[in-house]
Structure 1
Amino acid sequence: MFSRIALFLLTNFAVLILAGIVMSVLGVNPNQMSGLLVFAAIFGFGGSFISLLLSKFMAKRSTGAVVITEPRNPTERWLLATVERQAREAGIGMPEVAVYEGPEINAFATGANRNKALVAVSTGLLHNMSEDEAEAVLGHEIAHVANGDMITMALLQGVLNTFVIVLARIVGGFIDSALSGNREGGGRGFAYYIIVFVLEMVFGLFATMISMWFSRHREFRADAGGAHLAGRQKMIAALERLKVNHGQSTLPTQIAAFGIAGGAAKKLFMSHPPLDERIAALRAANNTVV
Structure 2
Amino acid sequence: MDFFTAQDQARRKTGRLVVLLVLAVLALIVVTTLAVAVALYLMGGQSSAQADLSAQGMLSALSVELVAGVAVAVLAVVVLGGLFKRSQLRRGGRAVAEALGGREINLNTRDADERRILNVVEEMAIASGTSVPSVYVLEEESINAFAAGYQTNDAVIGITRGTIRNLNRDELQGVVAHEFSHILHGDMRLNMRLISILHGILIIGFLGSMLLRSMRFRRVGGGGKRDNSGAVVLALGAALMVIGYAGTFFGNLIKSAVSRQREYLADASAVQYTRNPQGIGNALVKIGANSQGSYLQATQTAEFSHLFFSQGMRVGFSQMMATHPPLKDRIKRVMPGWDGSFEVTSPTPHAENDAPESAENERPEAGLRMGVGVGPLTGTGVGTLTAVLTAASVQTAIGSMGQPDQRHLAQARATLDALPERIRTAAHEPYAARALMHALLLSQDQTMRQHQLKVLQQVAIPDVYQALMEYGPDVLKLDIALRLPLIELALPALRSLSMQQAQHFRLCMERLIEADGEVSLFEWTLYQLLLNNLSEQSSGPANLKLNDLQRECQMLLAVLAAAGQDDADEISAALNAAESELPFRLTATDDVSDMRGLSLAVERLRRLKPLHKPALLQAMARCIEHSGRILPAEAELFRAMADILDCPMPPLLFDKPLDVNEA
Shorter-chain TM-score bucket reads 0.7 to 0.9
Q: 2:170 aligns with which of 132, 143, 151?
A: 132
Q: Give the length in aligned residue pairs.
A: 268
Partner of 1:151 in structure 2?
Answer: 189
Q: 1:56 aligns with which of 88, 94, 113?
A: 94
Q: CA deviation at 1:82?
A: 1.9
Partner of 1:4 in structure 2?
Answer: 10
Q: Tell me the distance in 1 between the aligned counterparts of 2:73 and 2:102.
A: 42
Question: Residue 270 in 1 paired to residue 322 in 2?
Answer: yes
Q: CA deviation at 1:70?
A: 0.9
Question: Residue 250 in 1 paired to residue 299 in 2?
Answer: no
Question: Residue 199 in 1 paired to residue 243 in 2?
Answer: yes
Change (3 A) 1:157 1:117: closer
Deviates more, 1:92-101 or 1:48-57: 48-57
Q: How does 1:17-166 map to 2 (within 5 A)?
A: 29=64, 33-34=71-72, 36-48=74-86, 50-51=88-89, 53=91, 55-57=93-95, 59-60=97-98, 62-72=100-110, 75-161=113-199
Describe the SS at the equivalent of 1:254.
coil
User: 2:82·2:197 contact (CA, 8 Å) conserved in 1?
Assistant: yes
Q: Which has the higher contact order (CA 8 A, sep 6+)?
A: 1
Deviates more, 1:62-71 or 1:211-220: 62-71
Which structure has the larger Rg over C-alpha atoms? 2
Partner of 1:13 in structure 2?
Answer: 19
1:154-181 Cα offsets, whole Å, 9 max, x none, are 3234444556779xx9xxxxxxxxxxxx
Change (3 A) 1:251 1:53: farther
Q: Tell me the distance in 2 between the aligned counterparts of 1:269 and 1:126.
A: 28
Q: CA deviation at 1:59?
A: 2.3
1:104-146 Cα offsets, whole Å, 9 max, x none, are 3232322343223222333322332221111111111222222
Q: Tell me the distance in 1 between the aligned counterparts of 2:116 and 2:252.
A: 38
1:152-207 Cα offsets, whole Å, 9 max, x none, are 123234444556779xx9xxxxxxxxxxxxxxxxxxx6344442222112222222
User: 1:143·1:225 contact (CA, 8 Å) conserved in 2?
Assistant: yes
Q: CA deviation at 1:83?
A: 1.0
Partner of 1:237 in structure 2?
Answer: 282
User: 1:93·1:116 contact (CA, 8 Å) conserved in 2?
Assistant: no
Which amino acid is 1:265 matched to? Answer: V
Q: Tell me the distance in 1 between the aligned counterparts of 2:309 and 2:331.
A: 13
Which amino acid is 1:12 matched to? Answer: V
Change (3 A) 1:34 1:224: same
User: 1:224·1:282 contact (CA, 8 Å) conserved in 2?
Assistant: yes
Q: How does 1:178-189 map to 2 (within 5 A)?
A: none
Which amino acid is 1:13 matched to? Answer: V
Partner of 1:183 in structure 2?
Answer: none
Change (3 A) 1:52 1:226: farther
Q: Tell me the distance in 2 between the aligned counterparts of 1:18 and 1:259.
A: 25
Q: Tell me the distance in 1 between the aligned counterparts of 2:187 and 2:195.
A: 12
Which amino acid is 1:261 matched to? Answer: S
User: 1:90·1:143 contact (CA, 8 Å) conserved in 2?
Assistant: no
The two structures, once aligned, show a CA RMSD in angstroms of 3.6
User: 1:109·1:117 contact (CA, 8 Å) conserved in 2?
Assistant: yes
Q: Tell me the distance in 1 between the aligned counterparts of 2:325 and 2:297.
A: 18
Describe the SS at the equivalent of 1:63.
coil
Q: CA deviation at 1:276?
A: 0.8
Q: CA deviation at 1:227?
A: 1.6
User: 1:11·1:159 contact (CA, 8 Å) conserved in 2?
Assistant: no
Describe the SS at the equivalent of 2:315.
coil
User: 1:52·1:150 contact (CA, 8 Å) conserved in 2?
Assistant: no
Gaps of 5+ in 1: 170-188
